[in-house]
Amino acid sequence: MIPTMTNYRKIVHKLLFALLSLTTLSVSTSCEPDYLEQSLRLAGENRGELEKVLDHYRDNPQKLAAARFLIENMPAHYSYKGDGIEQYYSMARGVFRTNLSPKQQADSMAHIAHYLLPNLEADTISDVRIMTADYLIRSIDKAFTEWETRPWAAHLTFDQFCEWLLPYKTAHLQSLDGWRDTLSSYFTWGLNNMVHDDDTYETTVNAANTIRNEINWRIKPFGIYHSAKGYPFLSASTMPYFTFGNCRDYVTLAVSTFRSVGIPAIIDETPYWGRYRAGHNWYTILNNRGEELTSEWDVSSIPGGSFFTDKRIPKVFRNTYAINRERERYLNTSLCRFPFEVCQRDITDEYFNTSDLEIPVSDDFRPVEEYVYIATFTAIGSDWSIVDFGYLKEGKAHFSRMGRNVLYLAMGYDGRRLRPISKPFILHTNGEVEYIVADTTRMRSVDARRKYYQSKNVATMRKRILNGQIQCADRKDFADAVTLYTIDSVLIPDKITLQADRPYRYWRYLSPEKSYGNIAELHFFDSEGARVSGTPISNIDNGEIINRAFDNDWLTNFDVSTPDGNWVGMDMGKGVTIASVRIVPRSDDNDIHPGDTYELRYWNDNNTWTSCGIKEADSNVLHYDSIPQGALMWITNHTRGMDERAFLVDEEGNVEWW
Residue 147 has pLDDT above 80, yes or no: yes
Q: Where are the beta strands (DSSP E) in 290-383?
A: 292-294, 317-319, 344-346, 354-360, 371-377
For 347-372, what is each residue's pLDDT tens digit? 999 999 999 999 999 999 999 999 99
Q: Is residue 118 in some structural domain? A: yes
Q: Is residue 347 in some structural domain? A: no
Task: Burial-class residue 41 by CB neighbours within 10 Å (0-12, 13-18, 19+).
Answer: middle
Dist. CA 15–CA 126, nearest whole Å? 8
Q: Based on the domain organization, do 116 and 128 belong to the same domain? A: yes
For 333-345, what is each residue's pLDDT tens digit? 999 999 999 999 9
Q: Based on the domain organization, do 557 and 651 belong to the same domain? A: no
- 636, β-bridge pairs: 599
Give Dmax (Cα) for the chain.
99
Phi and psi at residue 328, in whole multiples of 5°? -60, -45
Dist. CA 601–CA 613, nearest whole Å? 8
Residue 29 has pLDDT above 60, yes or no: no
pLDDT > 90: what percent of the chain? 89
pLDDT at position 70, please?
A: 98
Dist. CA 132–CA 234, nearest whole Å? 19
Given a contact cutoff of 8 angstroms between Cβ atoms, the answer to whether 538 and 562 are in contact is no
pLDDT at position 33, please?
A: 85
Closest CA to 449 of 580, 584, 603, 552: 584
Q: Based on the domain organization, do 272 and 361 belong to the same domain? A: no
pLDDT at position 1, please?
A: 34
Confidence of residue 24 (pLDDT cuts 50, 70, 90): very low
Q: Is residue 336 in some structural domain? A: no
Domain boundary among 526, 552, 584: 584
Confidence of residue 380 (pLDDT cuts 50, 70, 90): confident
Domain boundary among 293, 319, 345: 319
For 301-328, what is each residue's pLDDT tens digit? 999 988 999 899 999 999 999 999 999 9
Amino acid type, 451: K
Given a contact cutoff of 8 angstroms between Cβ atoms, the answer to whether 239 and 231 are in contact is no
Residue 12 has pLDDT above 80, yes or no: no
Q: Based on the domain organization, do 245 and 145 belong to the same domain? A: yes
Given a contact cutoff of 8 angstroms between Cβ atoms, the answer to whether 41 and 155 are in contact is no
Closest CA to 316 of 288, 296, 332: 296
pLDDT at position 485, please?
A: 98
Q: Based on the domain organization, do 19 and 49 belong to the same domain? A: yes
Q: Based on the domain organization, do 158 and 75 belong to the same domain? A: yes
Confidence of residue 3 (pLDDT cuts 50, 70, 90): very low
pLDDT > 70: what percent of the chain? 95
Q: Based on the domain organization, do 430 and 495 belong to the same domain? A: no
For 469-510, what is each residue's pLDDT tens digit? 999 999 999 999 999 999 999 999 999 999 999 999 999 999
User: Could you tell me the CATH number of the domain that includes residue 646?
Assistant: 2.60.40
Given a contact cutoff of 8 angstroms between Cβ atoms, the answer to whether 320 and 162 are in contact is no
Please name the residue ranges forming H helices in 519-637.
Answer: 543-547
Query: Domain containing 543: what range?
Result: 456-584
Q: Is residue 348 in some structural domain? A: no
Q: Based on the domain organization, do 91 and 10 belong to the same domain? A: yes
Amino acid type, 600: L
429 secondary structure, DSSP code: T
Q: Based on the domain organization, do 47 and 77 belong to the same domain? A: yes
Residue 251 has pLDDT above 80, yes or no: yes
Confidence of residue 34 (pLDDT cuts 50, 70, 90): very high
Domain count for the chain: 4
Q: Based on the domain organization, do 192 and 234 belong to the same domain? A: yes
Q: Tell me the average pLDDT across 87-102.
A: 96
- 265, β-bridge pairs: 285
Confidence of residue 145 (pLDDT cuts 50, 70, 90): very high
pLDDT at position 481, please?
A: 97
Dist. CA 251–CA 245, nearest whole Å? 10
CA 283 from centroid of its chain's CA atoms: 14
Dist. CA 565–CA 553, nearest whole Å? 24
Q: Based on the domain organization, do 122 and 223 belong to the same domain? A: yes
Closest CA to 172 of 236, 248, 238: 248
Given a contact cutoff of 8 angstroms between Cβ atoms, the answer to whether 346 and 401 are in contact is yes
Q: Is residue 389 in some structural domain? A: yes
Of 12 and 632, more confident = 632
Phi and psi at residue 78, in whole multiples of 5°? -125, 160
Domain boundary among 319, 338, 361: 319
Q: Based on the domain organization, do 521 and 600 belong to the same domain? A: no
pTM score of the predicted model:
0.91
Q: What is the DSSP string of 253-266?
A: HHHHHHHHTT--EE
For 567-587, what is each residue's pLDDT tens digit? 999 999 999 999 999 999 999
Residue 6 has pLDDT above 70, yes or no: no
pLDDT at position 13, please?
A: 52
Q: Is residue 78 in some structural domain? A: yes
Q: Tell me the average pLDDT across 39-57.
A: 98
Q: Tell me the average pLDDT across 383-404.
A: 97
Q: Is residue 358 in some structural domain? A: yes
Dist. CA 191–CA 469, nearest whole Å? 56
Q: Is residue 334 in some structural domain? A: no
Helix (H) or strand (E) holding 582: strand 580-584
